[in-house]
Structure 1
Amino acid sequence: MAPRFLLVALALAGTAIAAPATTLSLYERAGNATAVQFVGTNIAGFDFGCSILGACNLSQTTPPLSNLGGVDGAGQMQHFAKDDRMNMFRLPVGWQYLVNNKVGGTLDSGNTQKYDQLVQACLKTGAYCVIDVSSPYARWNGQIIGQGGPPNEQFVSLWTQLATKYASNAKMVFGVMNEPHDVPDIDKWADTVQAVVTAIRGAGAKTQMILIPGNDWTSAAAFPTKSGPSLLKVKNPDGSTDGLIFDVHKYLDSDNSGTHTDCVTDNISSAFQPLASWLRENKRQAINSETGGGNTASCQKYLCQQIQFLNQNADVFLGYTGWSAGAFSPQTYELSEVPTKNGNSWQDTALVKACIVAKKS
């Protein structure tokens, strides 16, 4: 489970390479890749106030933009792209925020305009920019999408509007949903995801990556046996799976919650080795869009080992984005990747400096 459930309280109180024009297929990368294609971090804030029950207190949303009274998230991304050569940023945002708490409604012009400022700041760096919908957890106010909660049509409406807005930019990436968990019927969830994929492609986003999340907090360890078999059936309208990338998360602390400053595992034998084998067997690829740890020696050791394994298996792992920079307080947040600005320069956290470093493929 990711640290997202701490956001209410917090709101109140890598290996980077040059970005390719398009992702390479499994066959193009097999035997050739020595580094993942995408590395970056999350720029959090537009998701603050959201709980694990899928309820969001919009008064606690904290836009990571200095012109909106927050931190300089645009400057953070410029630094990461220029100095660390990161080429992907994941931009979490609450579903409720985008529609101003009106499920199934149109995008709220004011809130969407504010979020778009972060998107445009991301695109200005030349990086790939992930819209990460954080209702979160496959829910709207505690009710599961398509399984007793909002019907699929209301979730599809959100994504149709977002895809229509950003379809013309090839560097936009569509993250269907942050960390579904305790979804009772994974086959019905796959049907929900299929409806979203069909809608995104139908809205004109024909080639952009779509990140497909599983159940179990989209755990990399659970994915091959629990969610993956059902989600394999999700296809593009033409029957292909081009650009449909499995979205997995994995933290390195004792309970996989991402809430402790110490790390105890590199997740290789328990998660990423089995997942790599499963992906190859099924000719698919994945991205680890949330991972990280404290700025401690143990996390530097294990996260660097985990990243090394992803690079060594870059035919099936496209990349990773760390959790998290953005609006978090580097003084109080356990997993802060927030750089510190000194004059005209930025200073990275110890973990970013140790592990999220450039490696050419």
Structure 2
Amino acid sequence: MHRVLFSLVAVATVVTALPAKSETRATGVQLVGVNIAGFDFGCSIQGACDLTKAVPPMSNAGGADGVGQMQHFFKDDGMNIFRLPVGWQYLVNGKLGGTLDSGNFGRYNQLVQACLSTGAYCMLDVHNYARWNGQIIGQGGPTNAQFTNLWTQLASKYGSNDKVIFGLMNEPHDVPDIDKWAATVQEAVTAIRGVAKTNMIALPGNDWTSAQAMPTKSGPALLKVKNPDGTADGLIIDVHKYLDSDNSGTHTECVTDNISNAFQPLATWLKANNRKAILSETGGGNTDSCKKYMCQQLDFLNQNSDVFLGYVGWSAGSFSPQTYELSEVPTKNGNSWADSALVKACFVKKN
């Protein structure tokens, strides 16, 4: 999320990994879910991660019961996707270009496996804003090879399971050269496809992955990113959008449904280019204004499910439901769970 205020043409040889109709929701978009945050805690918008501040969303690691949350969301609410943010530094224990750390990655993998065990899709999310300690990937910071090395390792671990989605990078911002960034994304896609042929890959643009900016700023460059065979099968445009006054996702009140200025133009652009997008972050407070505007926003995405694959709320996991403005953390009462007001109003599957 924006922490500005507080630190498809198919070919015979490639099968797209889009969800089969038989395993998706009855109406509207195919994928609906929630972020399960915690492994990303301590990561700033400059891509610097204090590993001592990570709070794995697992009871056995000192965090919230993210496993129970996912089981509840899947079983009781009909959700079928969870995005799992994690800091790049956490995965490799601070060693740029290094191998996945057995201890840290082992803990993250526990969350991934718990997610998969629900039957849901699970999006890996490297939560570094296109940076490592303030330096931009492929533009003065980590090399493209170092970035693709990370994704080759992750794809090698999970590429045999089509329910794992590779979210290449959370919210790149202030990237000077969008064409160079698209080249970085291309190298990552090519590397992943070397070991994972059909998993969905979420392609992030600049401008905090803004849904509003995508058609005119990052989108044209990202359209050039292709699979090694020249297709775009399984390559999904990744977008974010919040509903508060400055689109930062730091206020409990919402002021817009984002339709006319963001999602209608984006839908038109996606249709024109025969592409799909996923809204992998959106959120608001548990307030009447956010319930009103969030439901309107998600209704629009459901009505345009030919181009919108799904949406994922921000956020559950290790956040405190008492103090976090955008909490989607459910509370456990005995053997049952109670959803936050916003999740209950707008995200829960309606029968």
Distance 1:146 1:139 in 2: 9
Alignment-derived partner of residue 158 in structure 1: 150
Alignment-derived partner of residue 260 in structure 2: 269
In the TM superposition, residue 5 of structure 1 has moved relative to its aligned partner by: 5.6
Q: Secondary structure at the match of 1:302?
A: helix
Alignment-derived partner of residue 141 in structure 1: 133
| Aligned partner of 2:217 among 199, 212, 226 | 226
| Aligned partner of 1:57 among 50, 53, 57 | 50
| Aligned partner of 1:75 among 41, 44, 68 | 68
Q: Secondary structure at the match of 1:245?
A: strand
Checking the alignment, whether the CA contact within 8 Å between 1:288 and 1:320 is kept in structure 2 is yes
Alignment-derived partner of residue 288 in structure 1: 279
Does structure 1 residue 180 correspond to structure 2 residue 172? yes
In the TM superposition, residue 65 of structure 1 has moved relative to its aligned partner by: 0.3
Structure 2 counterpart of 1:42, one-letter code? N
Alignment-derived partner of residue 59 in structure 2: 66
Alignment-derived partner of residue 100 in structure 2: 107
In the TM superposition, residue 337 of structure 1 has moved relative to its aligned partner by: 0.1
Does structure 1 residue 37 correspond to structure 2 residue 30? yes
| Aligned partner of 1:342 among 333, 341, 344 | 333
In the TM superposition, residue 103 of structure 1 has moved relative to its aligned partner by: 0.5
In the TM superposition, residue 92 of structure 1 has moved relative to its aligned partner by: 0.1
Give the superposed CA RMSD: 1.5
- 5 Å matches for 1:183-262? 183-203=175-195, 205-262=196-253
In the TM superposition, residue 4 of structure 1 has moved relative to its aligned partner by: 4.2
Distance 1:190 1:3 in 2: 21
Checking the alignment, whether the CA contact within 8 Å between 2:277 and 2:308 is kept in structure 1 is yes
Distance 1:161 1:279 in 2: 31
5+ residue gaps, structure 2: 8-15
Checking the alignment, whether the CA contact within 8 Å between 2:17 and 2:234 is kept in structure 1 is no
Distance 1:70 1:52 in 2: 22
Structure 2 counterpart of 1:322, one-letter code? G
In the TM superposition, residue 3 of structure 1 has moved relative to its aligned partner by: 4.0
In the TM superposition, residue 170 of structure 1 has moved relative to its aligned partner by: 1.2
Does structure 1 residue 324 correspond to structure 2 residue 310? no
Q: Secondary structure at the match of 1:247?
A: strand
Alignment-derived partner of residue 12 in structure 2: none
Q: Secondary structure at the match of 1:70?
A: coil
Distance 1:158 1:22 in 2: 22
Alignment-derived partner of residue 84 in structure 2: 91
Alignment-derived partner of residue 10 in structure 2: none
Does structure 1 residue 124 correspond to structure 2 residue 117? yes
5+ residue gaps, structure 1: 9-20
Aligned-pair identity in percent equals 76
Checking the alignment, whether the CA contact within 8 Å between 1:287 and 1:317 is kept in structure 2 is yes
Structure 2 counterpart of 1:54, one-letter code? G
The Cα offsets for residues 134-192 of structure 1, whole Å up to 9 and x where unpaired, read as 1x110000000000001100000000000001111110000000000000000000000
Distance 1:114 1:7 in 2: 27
Checking the alignment, whether the CA contact within 8 Å between 1:104 and 1:157 is kept in structure 2 is yes
Alignment-derived partner of residue 23 in structure 1: 18
Distance 2:337 2:5 in 1: 26
Distance 1:127 1:192 in 2: 29
Checking the alignment, whether the CA contact within 8 Å between 1:5 and 1:51 is kept in structure 2 is no
Alignment-derived partner of residue 303 in structure 1: 294
Checking the alignment, whether the CA contact within 8 Å between 1:7 and 1:50 is kept in structure 2 is no
Structure 1 counterpart of 2:264, one-letter code? Q
Checking the alignment, whether the CA contact within 8 Å between 1:100 and 1:108 is kept in structure 2 is yes
Checking the alignment, whether the CA contact within 8 Å between 1:56 and 1:96 is kept in structure 2 is yes
CA separation of 1:45/1:7 partners in 2, compared to 1, >3 Å: closer, same or farther? farther
Distance 1:192 1:22 in 2: 22
Q: Secondary structure at the match of 2:320?
A: coil
Q: Secondary structure at the match of 1:322?
A: strand
State TM-score, norm by structure 1. 0.92
Distance 1:118 1:68 in 2: 11
Distance 1:76 1:151 in 2: 37
Distance 1:356 1:80 in 2: 10
| Aligned partner of 1:47 among 40, 44, 48 | 40
Alignment-derived partner of residue 13 in structure 1: none
Distance 2:70 2:178 in 1: 35
Distance 2:220 2:2 in 1: 27
